[in-house]
């Protein structure tokens, strides 16, 4: 009789789809590359905040300042339109918190360090920043470069604030998931304090101190760069550069090393 192929044997080589799916579901581990990615995101946030206050009279990511202004708006409503714009502050803080809540809660379900989740979040944040840049380009005078349609109180401005704050809130939550809390990518107060009180501040090898210094330095450089671009070219260009930086990090997440699976020790036989 002719030889019949063994139907019980199955192909042990995974398909391209299953390999890709497995790769996207790996947990990214804290590493030097992850530090670099967070510093790039910090630079991008510096660009955004450098243009958000002059344009919008609020911060897109620094919610400490927005919280203080919101309280002042409640106590001193007559200062609205002079010292600050209450609607802008409310939009920035509200969208930031909503994005942080959504990103954090979904991260608990999906896996905050999963490569695919990190890539997806960063891609969405990138799209939000580019959309805000487009709004800024559209609603600016081609001759003066100034905001038109009631300037800082225009509907387009509120949309731009909401988009940038949403991207920032999601980014901050995402940065915390990588386990390097010294690089928050946005808020500097805690980093300054933790740096000053570090008992090993002057020790040669101190990774936490180095991360904080790198974060603060990058935030300052991003803000200085954003201010320079704002003065010479205009805020839309700063947002485009910020979006490009976030897009770069989105691609870079595909090359991070993954956490090794934990090997369970076999139980001792009775």
CA 58, 245, 147 angle in degrees (round to 5)? 40
Q: In whole angstroms, what separates CA 34 from the centre of its chain?
A: 13
For 40-44, 183-187, 214-218, which range has the lowest pLDDT when averaged over its residues?
183-187
Task: Read off the pLDDT band of 59 (50, 70, 90).
Answer: confident
- C-alpha distances in Å from residue 209, one per residue of 3, 31, 206: 69, 16, 5
Contact of 175 with 38, CB cutoff 8 Å: yes
- Name the pTM for this structure: 0.86
Contact between residue 44 and residue 222 where contact means Cβ atoms under 8 Å apart: yes
143-189 pLDDT, tens digit per residue, is 445 555 445 556 778 899 999 999 999 999 998 889 888 999 988 88
Q: Averaged over 80-93, what is the pLDDT?
A: 84
Contact 89, 63 (CB under 8 A): no
- Please tell me the predicted confidence (pLDDT) of residue 268: 47
**CA 138 to the chain's CA centroid:** 25
Whose tokens are 């390999």? That residue is: 19
Distance of CA 206 to the CA centre of its chain: 25
**Poorest-pLDDT segment among 15-29, 30-44, 94-108:** 15-29
**CA gap 59, 65 in Å, rounded:** 7
pLDDT (tens digit per residue) in 64-74: 888 988 888 88
**Number of neighbours of residue 255 by Cβ within 10 angstroms:** 10
Cβ atoms within 10 Å of 117's Cβ, excluding its own: 23
CATH number of 44-255: 1.20.1250
- The pLDDT-based confidence of 5 (bands split at 50, 70, 90) is low
How far is the C-alpha of 237 from the C-alpha of 234, rounded, in Å?
6
When pLDDT is cut at 50, 70 and 90, the band that residue 270 belongs to is very low
Tell me what pLDDT residue 77 has: 82
Cα end-to-end distance, the chain, whole Å: 51
Q: Are 161 and 96 in contact (CB under 8 A)?
A: no
At 229 the three-state DSSP class reads helix
How many CB atoms sit inside 10 A of residue 16's CB?
A: 7
């Amino acid at each position: 009789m002719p030889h019949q192929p063994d139907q019980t044997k199955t192909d042990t080589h995974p398909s391209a789809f299953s390999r890709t799916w497995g790769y996207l579901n790996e947990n990214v581990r804290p590493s030097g590359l992850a530090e670099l990615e967070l510093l790039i995101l910090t630079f991008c946030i510096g660009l955004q905040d450098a243009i958000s206050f002059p344009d919008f009279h609020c911060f897109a990511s620094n919610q400490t300042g927005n919280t203080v202004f919101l309280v002042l708006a409640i106590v001193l409503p007559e200062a609205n339109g002079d010292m600050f714009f209450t609607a802008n502050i409310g939009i920035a803080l509200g969208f930031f918190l909503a994005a942080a809540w959504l990103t954090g809660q979904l991260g608990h379900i999906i896996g905050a360090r999963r490569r695919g989740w990190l890539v997806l979040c960063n891609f969405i944040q990138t799209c939000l920043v580019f959309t805000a840049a487009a709004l800024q380009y559209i609603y600016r005078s081609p001759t003066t470069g100034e905001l038109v349609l009631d300037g800082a109180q225009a509907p387009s401005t509120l949309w731009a604030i909401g988009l940038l704050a949403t991207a920032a809130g999601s980014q901050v939550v995402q940065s915390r998931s990588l386990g390097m809390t010294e690089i928050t990518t946005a808020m500097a107060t805690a980093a300054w304090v933790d740096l000053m009180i570090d008992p090993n501040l002057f020790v040669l090898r101190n990774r936490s101190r180095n991360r904080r210094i790198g974060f603060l330095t990058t935030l300052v450089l991003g803000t200085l760069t954003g201010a320079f671009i704002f003065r010479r070219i205009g805020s839309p260009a700063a947002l485009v550069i910020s979006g490009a930086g976030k897009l770069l990090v989105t691609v870079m997440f595909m090359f991070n090393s993954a956490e090794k699976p934990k090997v369970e020790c076999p139980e001792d036989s009775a």
